[in-house]
Amino acid sequence: MSTVIKFEKATIFQDERPVIGNLDLEIQKGEFVYLLGKTGSGKSSLLKTIYADLPLINGNGTIAGYNLTSLKSRDIPYLRRKLGIVFQDFQLLGDRNIYENLRFVMKATGWDDETKIKTRIFEVLKKVGLENKENKMPHELSGGEQQRVSIARALVNEPEIILADEPTGNLDPETSEEILKLLKAIADGGSSVLLATHDMLAYQKFKSRTLVCENGELKEKQV
């Protein structure tokens, strides 16, 4: 298996304050990994460091083949094409339909062949169980369906890694379970999934490798 996320003796900062110190972490291709911790423990800061929204100042980090310590600003978009990011609040464009939401992201990341764009959009919508929903507006979908669209959006560039930041935070328990099943299936398909959550009910239903942010450290939790 190939390593897609690796940190060695790294420090993760949040507002110039260290929140995770002495970080050593490896995540392999196709792994499904939970990231647990209270608000402010450093979960989101770690994810932001992985997608280069926060700089890695101390230690070493390599994400999908990109070295974070020597990463140039011009290379950040190329790193992000290897990542798919799923947020708690969906972040869909409310003034355009689902097809155009996905097309917008694809055009922004270098797709220019409309036939290939259309083919890929229908592929990812089928993968997340939203066939025939491409003409719907976001407000016409349930919360769970909107999160499925955001997962489809994260999948369009066939990412090596999916970063999911509290993806079930705004969903009811039944819908949360469906979203977790979908993310597990994506990991089984070969994309690593790092899922930050404090949804303990969902976590307990789907046991997997678990990391915990607490007291300024990232620790492996036995499951």
What is the CATH number for 215? 3.40.50.300
Is residue 67 situated within a structural domain? no
Is residue 19 situated within a structural domain? no
Is residue 3 situated within a structural domain? no
CA distance 4 to 66: 9
Is residue 113 situated within a structural domain? yes
What letter would DSSP give residue 129? T
Q: What are phi and psi of 14, to 5 degrees?
A: -140, 115
Number of C-beta neighbours around residue 181 at 10 A? 12
Q: Report the number of secondary-structure helices (H) and strands (E) in the chain.
A: 7, 10
Is residue 145 situated within a structural domain? yes
Is residue 207 situated within a structural domain? yes
Residue 124's contacts (CB-CB under 8 Å, 6 or more residues apart) are 102, 152, 153, 155, 156
pLDDT at residue 222, as a whole number: 76
What letter would DSSP give residue 40? T
CA distance 115 to 124: 15
**Domain of 110, in residue numbers:** 30-53+72-221
Token digits of residue 53:
């929204």
Is residue 66 situated within a structural domain? no
Token digits of residue 179:
């979203």
Tens-level pLDDT at each residue, the chain (223 residues):
699 999 999 999 988 899 999 999 999 999 999 999 888 889 999 999 999 999 999 999 999 999 999 999 999 989 998 999 998 888 899 999 999 999 999 998 889 999 999 999 999 999 999 999 999 999 999 999 999 999 999 999 999 999 999 898 888 888 888 999 999 999 999 999 999 987 777 777 788 999 999 999 999 987 6
Taking the model in full, what pTM does it have? 0.92
State the total domains in the chain: 1
Is residue 24 situated within a structural domain? no
